[in-house]
Amino acid sequence: MEPEEPFAGWVRELRRRRGLTQGELGKRVGVGQAAVSRWEMGRANIRPAVRARLAELAEGTGLEPPPGWGDDEG
């Protein structure tokens, strides 16, 4: 799997808008702080189920999921 660099900034911005640390965001979506750190560095893929939880967390922030976010779900 290739890293998802386009999503790195989106995850960081979501976290900023929610006022969360990496650890707090991880707890909310069911992963550890290290996973969130890897996402923000563009070094890890985000599983579809976790993407869905991130998209739910983004609701009400004015931050839309990036293009292609749900392409591999289903």
The confidence score (pLDDT) of residue 58 equals: 95
Domain assignment present for 9:
yes
In this structure, what CATH number is given to the domain that contains residue 44? Answer: 1.10.260.40
Mean pLDDT (whole number) for 66-74? 65
Domain with 36, as residue range(s), is 5-58
Domain assignment present for 64:
no
List, for residues 3-51, the tens digit of each pLDDT value: 456 789 999 999 999 999 999 999 999 999 999 999 999 998 889 999 9
Number of domains within the chain = 1
The confidence score (pLDDT) of residue 13 equals: 95
Domain assignment present for 70:
no
User: Distances in Å between the alpha carbon of 59 and those of 1, 34, 42, 52?
Assistant: 28, 24, 23, 11
Domain assignment present for 67:
no
Lowest mean pLDDT among 7-16, 48-57, 60-69: 60-69
d(CA 65, CA 60): 12
Domain assignment present for 30:
yes
Burial of 12 (0-12, 13-18, 19+ CB in 10 A): middle
The whole-model pTM stands at: 0.84
Domain assignment present for 17:
yes
Domain assignment present for 36:
yes
